[in-house]
Amino acid sequence: MRQLRSQVVLFIPLLLFIGLGVAAIWQWCPIPVSAQGITDYKPAAYIGKASCIECHQQQHELWTGSHHDLAMQVADEKTVLGDFDNATFVHNGVTTTFTGKDGKFFVNTEGPDGELHDYEVAYTFGVTPLQQYLIPFPNGRYQVLGVCWDSRPESEGGQRWYHLYGDEPIPHNDPLHWTGPNQNWNFMCAECHSTELKKNYDEATDSFNTSWSEINVSCESCHGPGSNHAAWAKAGQTDKEGDGSMGLVLRIKDDGGFWRFQPGADTAQRTQPREDQTMLNMCARCHSRRSVVTEDYRHGKGLLDTHRPALLTENLYHADGQVLDEVYVYGSFLQSRMYQAGVTCTDCHDPHSMQVYSQGNSLCATCHMPSTFDTPRHHFHEQGTESSRCVSCHMPTKTYMGIDARLDHSIRVPRPDLSAKLGVPNACNQCHTDQTHEWAEAAVTKWYGADHRNEPHYGEVLHAGRTGSPDADKMLAALTTDMTQTGIVRSTALSLLRNYPTPLSYQTIQSQARDDDPMVRFAALNALEVTGPNLRLPVAYELLQDPVLSVRLEAARVLAPVDPSQLNDEQRQAIEQGIEAYIQSQRVNADRAESHLNIALIHTQRGRNDLAEQSYRTALTINPAFAQAYVNLSDLYRGTNRNELSTRVLNEAVEAGVEYGVIYYSLGLALVREAKTPEAIRAFERAAELAPDDPQFSYTLGIALNSTGDTERAIEVLDETHRRHPTYQPALYALMTISRDRGEAQAAVRYAQSLLELNPNDPKPIEAFIEQVKSSIPE
């Protein structure tokens, strides 16, 4: 069943995968320059790779033919790899036909109206293991065709057309349809496939004038505009600035440290700690799951000054941080011991070809002594086999886009014991698919001893936070303040604390809002939503002046609901400016419905319901299938005593075919308020069917059934809710009280005891309930 998986829901801002921007009216705070080689930002122009080749022929040769070089190309007979010789491909009853004529390439396929149309291919996108194709649409839009060419050799299953979403039906009105908003090149893809990309969306005309200086990822994508450097070179290659920058906006150069084996050591160490993360930040701009913070990208700045990386959230990562959705390396690498030790991208990858420096275990042997690690005494597999490769155990793959197997860059030790505890994958069972997690754990215990199982893992804490385990707030607070953990792990723990409104949570959030890591400060601000608006002021107000843009914007957002009457003039003005900057930043992605939803939320919090309604309607104009906009607009109408409109909006969504659980759940609540219980139950049933992973929907269905006297079915639904979500306490409360009221004392006690296990710190009410029920059991 489909949930909100095809939408980018921004009403919980920590989980965004949508762009932010910076308002021109908010002056930048001074940002200290710490990374080596970054000069004060000076105006420089993009001059193209042709100006670089004369002096950098070797680097150009390495780059030529790389994924960066071939990231995007004009579609012609040299660049198009797919079969356009009247080839056909059928997906869920839709036949797509590929033809070529006079050096041009055409596709006949389903358009946005559900009918077949002819489209000309304008550009190719990527080369291996697949190639996609860009189709021009009116108003400057380019859409990415959902049928792709598998460019692998035929012997590997390639040389065929296939669909990105396999056999899943993607109707023409689905956001994931190739003509929909989530397959729009201008927003989804363009920034990372071309150089000096300017999206240039005009909200007034709903059109793009997207431009680039070079069609692919060229020299200046990483080094920055090169005019000053070219001038420096032509002037005789003298360092006029005296800072080693050579006129470059960004000089990607190591800080002088190198890797060396100490006598008797099995693993190399850097000769000096790495303090410069320029390289990592530069690569992370595209090799991360992140959102855009500003269109004014400036090379060399910290990532959170231009983008905001996603945390280890439940929709993207397994509880232990292994990859789940497509996250593009950075968030995984930040979890690794390699990152903590000072490894960066170019320690393994050539920065121009993007290839690793050597193949197989020899790459790892650069820093890990082969006599210790590249031996069956360590990996316990036959030498020279696929199973003996370092990456097989420490960087298992996950396949995306149907055929693209990518390595998990968290570079972790396999933990099959965590698979049994947390339901996460492990490298052992990825190969030994016919065996159980317990079998794999027994093997690891035999090899390395039982003590390895005693090593704690942050995944256990994140799992506890996700599932509402007892003492989750204490565990999360401890992980958040554990300075041996990386910033992304600590930030994720903070983000989960927002689900636990306890004094400890607030105390932890307060302390971490002053952390040195901007990612932690950002997460602390987001977690502040666990508190009332006025409790946010002492923590968030000073961060309106944070040196990092993402942090400043988040501070403004969380302060929006603060009552202006509680502020002095200076505070009121600062927050007002911050909020305006946040709203303007959202307009950087005004082509996205999610940005207008975010703006509507701000207006609602500030009591500007007219502007909020306008923003929700704009969101629905952009994306008529955007479920959360329907729900929020309905709530806005209900909150302003326009109940008829509240229900009408949800019915509009149903009539438009917006099949998401949250729509039917909200409709069910509206029907309950109108005393239309049978219709409400049908809506709750549909919500639970569409979103079985949301316990609130099935719980509400159970309560509604019980209210009509259909207690048997109510218990059946609530029991299933408890089975699927054993830590979801409302279902247990309902089950124990319904069982008591039915005279089923033993069942009531059983449910209460399960609830007691989830509430060890507040046992008295449940214990009193148990005693009361037990006293009613005849002896």
β-strand partners of 356: 349
Residue 446 scores a pLDDT above 50: yes
Taking residues 352-367, report their average pLDDT.
95
Taking residues 7-27, report their average pLDDT.
29
What is residue 299's DSSP assignment? T
3-class state of residue 148 by DSSP: strand
pLDDT-based confidence at 173, cuts 50/70/90? confident
Residue 292 scores a pLDDT above 50: yes
Q: Which residue has the higher pLDDT, 335 or 3?
A: 335
Burial of 260 (0-12, 13-18, 19+ CB in 10 A): exposed
Strand ranges (DSSP E) for 397-530?
397-400, 404-407
Residue 501 scores a pLDDT above 70: yes
| Mean pLDDT taken over the chain | 90
Which tokens hold the place of 566? 């509680």
| DSSP per position, 611-663 | HHHHHHHHHHHH-TT-HHHHHHHHHHHHHTT-HHHHHHHHHHHHHTT---HHH
Taking residues 405-433, report their average pLDDT.
95
- What is the predicted pLDDT for the residue at 232? 87
312, 488 Cβ separation under 8 angstroms: yes
Per the rule left: phi > 0, alpha: psi between -120 and 50, beta: everything else, 660 is beta
- What is the predicted pLDDT for the residue at 628? 96
Q: Greatest CA separation found in the chain?
A: 102
pLDDT-based confidence at 699, cuts 50/70/90? very high
CA distances to 27, 528, 556, 558, 560 from 573, in Å: 14, 21, 11, 15, 12
Q: Do the strands 123-125 and 116-120 form a parallel or antiparallel pair, or are they unpaired?
A: unpaired
- What is the predicted pLDDT for the residue at 242? 54
Cα three-residue angle 631-325-632, rounded to 5 degrees:
10
Residue 247 scores a pLDDT above 90: no
Residue 11 scores a pLDDT above 60: no
What is residue 155's DSSP assignment? G
Which tokens hold the place of 78? 């040299």
- The span from the CA of 439 to the CA of 428, in Å, is 10
Mean pLDDT is lowest, of 333-342, 362-371, 755-764, for 755-764
- What is the predicted pLDDT for the residue at 300? 83
Residue 512 scores a pLDDT above 90: yes
Burial of 288 (0-12, 13-18, 19+ CB in 10 A): buried
Q: Which of 484, 604, 473 is nearest to 527 (CA)?
A: 473
- The span from the CA of 514 to the CA of 438, in Å, is 43
Which tokens hold the place of 386? 């696929």
- What is the predicted pLDDT for the residue at 506? 94
Taking residues 176-189, report their average pLDDT.
94
Buried b (16+ CB within 10 A) or exposed e, 615-627: bbebbbebbbbbb
pLDDT-based confidence at 238, cuts 50/70/90? low
- The span from the CA of 683 to the CA of 229, in Å, is 64
What is residue 11's DSSP assignment? S
CA 143, chain centre distance (Å): 22
- The span from the CA of 157 to the CA of 424, in Å, is 29
Q: Which of 146, 175, 139 is nearest to 162 (CA)?
A: 146
Q: Which of 471, 535, 536 is nearest to 504 (CA)?
A: 471
704, 738 Cβ separation under 8 angstroms: no
- What is the predicted pLDDT for the residue at 299? 87
pLDDT-based confidence at 296, cuts 50/70/90? confident
Cα three-residue angle 489-3-398, rounded to 5 degrees:
50
- The span from the CA of 158 to the CA of 147, in Å, is 14
- What is the predicted pLDDT for the residue at 36? 36
- The span from the CA of 556 to the CA of 110, in Å, is 44
Name, in order, each residue with C-beta under 8 angstroms of 256's C-beta and a sequence gap of 6 or more: 272
Taking residues 660-687, report their average pLDDT.
96
Place of tokens 């933990």: 415
Mean pLDDT is lowest, of 191-195, 237-241, 558-562, 696-700, for 237-241
453, 445 Cβ separation under 8 angstroms: yes
The torsion angles phi and psi of 680, rounded to 5 degrees, stand at -65, -40
Q: Which residue has the higher pLDDT, 451 or 102?
A: 102
Strand ranges (DSSP E) for 167-306?
201-202, 207-208, 259-260, 269-270, 290-292
- The span from the CA of 374 to the CA of 205, in Å, is 61
Taking residues 269-297, report their average pLDDT.
91
- The span from the CA of 691 to the CA of 645, in Å, is 25
β-strand partners of 317: 323
Residue 13 scores a pLDDT above 70: no
- The span from the CA of 668 to the CA of 176, in Å, is 27
- What is the predicted pLDDT for the residue at 27? 27
690, 1 Cβ separation under 8 angstroms: yes
pLDDT-based confidence at 730, cuts 50/70/90? very high
Q: What pLDDT, in 10s, does the model give residues 197-213?
A: 999 999 999 999 999 99
- What is the predicted pLDDT for the residue at 779? 65
Q: What pLDDT, in 10s, does the model give residues 105-150?
A: 999 999 999 999 999 999 999 999 999 999 999 999 999 999 999 9
98, 242 Cβ separation under 8 angstroms: no
Name, in order, each residue with C-beta under 8 angstroms of 504's C-beta and a sequence gap of 6 or more: 473, 474, 477
The percentage of residues in the chain with a pLDDT greater than 90, rounded to a whole number, is 81
- What is the predicted pLDDT for the residue at 240? 52
Residue 253 scores a pLDDT above 90: no
Q: What pLDDT, in 10s, does the model give residues 645-668?
A: 999 999 999 999 899 999 999 999
- What is the predicted pLDDT for the residue at 593? 96
- The span from the CA of 414 to the CA of 40, in Å, is 45
Q: Which of 321, 314, 316 is nearest to 496 (CA)?
A: 314
Report the chain's C-alpha Rg in angstroms.
28
Which helix (H) or strand (E) segment is 119 a member of?
strand 116-120
580, 586 Cβ separation under 8 angstroms: no
Alpha helices in 97-226 (DSSP H): 185-188, 219-223
- The span from the CA of 311 to the CA of 324, in Å, is 13
Residue 159 scores a pLDDT above 90: yes
Side chain identity at residue 539, one-letter code: V
- The span from the CA of 362 to the CA of 365, in Å, is 5
CA distances to 101, 322, 532, 634 from 662, in Å: 48, 28, 25, 12
